[in-house]
Amino acid sequence: MNTKGKKLQLLVNADDFGRHVLIDQAVAQCVEQGCLRSATLMPGGKAFDDAVHTAQTHPELGVGIHFTLVNGYPVLPPAEIPSLVTADGVFYDDYIHFVKRFLSGKVRMEEVRRELAAQAEKVTRTGLALTHVDSHQHMHVLPGIFSVVLDTAEAIHLDAVRIPRTPLFAGDSGSLGQLIGRSGLAVLADLAGREAKRRGFRTPDHFAGIVAGEAVHEGHFRHIIETLKPGVTEVMMHPGADTAALKKACQWEHDFEAERDAIISTDIRELLQKKQVKVISFRDIAG
């Protein structure tokens, strides 16, 4: 991707918007006090209506669709998408389990298409001016599913998508399993990026944010900003207002408050001004 002559632009996106009211509260705080200008709304999230209200009262926040096929709740009745859900009628919690089912042919692509269309319709009905699409746990970059995601986005007149080209070594780098996971994601993201470009979709030039659950704490966020490359860098974040409560509710060992605090940090705001970094949302990415 040619970034010659481009300025430094930062796009911080809050994932899982609408999953829990404590996430929605943090999103509002990060818009009001920090550098957050983008979030992706989880269609089956229990706090969906609360997130919509938050977005409506914060028009500077660009809102996209956080397509969900794992670790959440479907929009369609479970009986209509049996290959996507457990006996309890929810998505499989483990993305590795979903990928294994997908690769073995147990996931019916027509069910994926109908569920994602239903998710897009639900978010579109809110009347929000939507900006882009991505997905929970990056399932949208799986070959075949990515094509369905782009089809679904085009049907509602969206032309921007996340390409999670995550750095192989980030933060403390993590375990061997995490490094292997990042390597696999990098390959899938590269393939997805090529298809997105071929179909005329807008994407950020670069991607950051630690994959595998670790938080983008203030120190790591500062490093990202200090080493920004020309063009648009998307930083994936999961801010929350109460880490202990969210760990219990989401069953995820993640420091939600650390990411919230990084986004609203006065030192970070001063660093952005010093480096003349423009804070944007997906709506601002040039075609």
Mean pLDDT by 10 residues, the chain (287 residues): 79 98 98 98 98 98 98 98 98 92 97 98 98 97 97 98 76 49 81 97 93 82 96 98 97 96 98 98 94
pLDDT at 177: 47
**Residue 74: closest CA among 17, 39, 114, 108:** 114
| Cβ proximity of 222 and 269 under 8 Å | no
Walk me through the domains of the chain, giving residue ranges and CATH numbers: 8-284 (3.20.20.370)
In the numeric block, which tokens belong to residue 48?
A: 């969906």
pTM of the model: 0.94
Distance CA 274, CA 226 (A): 10
Cα–chain center distance at 31: 16
Helix and strand numbers, DSSP H then E, in the chain: 10, 7
Report in angstroms the alpha-carbon separations of 165 from 36, 182, 190, 192, 236.
20, 9, 7, 10, 11
Return d(Cα 256, Cα 252) in angstroms, integer: 10
